Amino acid sequence: MVLSSVGRKKLAGQAAFLFLDVVVLALSARVNQFQDFFYVADIFPLALSIVSLVLVVILIVMDLILYDSYTSRPQFEIGFFGVLSIFWLAPEFMDERVWCKTLQALKSFVWITFVTCIAIALFTLRYSISQYKRGNKHVFEMPLSRYRPEIGPSSDAFRAGRGSEFLQFEKLT
């Protein structure tokens, strides 16, 4: 499988997000060890990091395995990382009482993860819109990891239509 240059950048951004997510998972697991007291607000980053880890790994695996995965298209990734960044911003508005250095580190890595997530969404949005305005309308019809501006929708490397036995009847009407 050959990835385009923008596809390699996209996967590098998602790998950086996964690294930060694992750091947040480790820090939030350390903060949420059983003690006499704990803040309920600190459980949210733990759950969110687990859900994010599973979903982004599934997203990357589907992108690498399936040739024309809908989850790899720009419109899906913009929405996915946009919603995910909203969830990553939510722990920052929780209780700000800091009782240990681990919690301070957790809060800072949650913030960095939010910035990374919103940066991925904004990069994908900016790149897709700029390609669409240049006349490359097929940017929304194929996975971004395999997108090349010179490959048009009528090219042999990419088929915009579906292979159906009913296509023979379209020519008659």
**What's the pLDDT at 58?**
93
For the segment 12-45, what is each residue's pLDDT rounded down to a tens digit?
A: 999 999 999 998 888 887 777 655 555 554 677 8
Mean pLDDT across the stretch 73-94? 81
Specify the pLDDT at position 16.
Answer: 92
Q: What is the mean pLDDT of the segment spanning 68-84?
A: 87
Predicted pLDDT of residue 157:
47
Enter the tokens of residue 36. 């006499």
Residue 148 has pLDDT above 90, yes or no: no
Burial (CB < 10 A; 0-12, 13-18, 19+), residue 143, is buried
Q: Which secondary-structure segment (H or E) carries 70?
A: none
Over pLDDT 70: what percentage of the chain? 73
> Can you tell me which residue has the tokens 């239509």?
161
pTM assigned to the model:
0.70
Question: pLDDT at position 98, please?
Answer: 47
* pLDDT on residue 168: 53
**Digit-coded pLDDT (tens) for 153-170:** 555 444 444 555 555 555
**φ, ψ of residue 42 in degrees (nearest 5):** -85, -10
Vertex 70 angle, CA 68 and 74, to 5°: 105
146: its two tokens = 């395999």
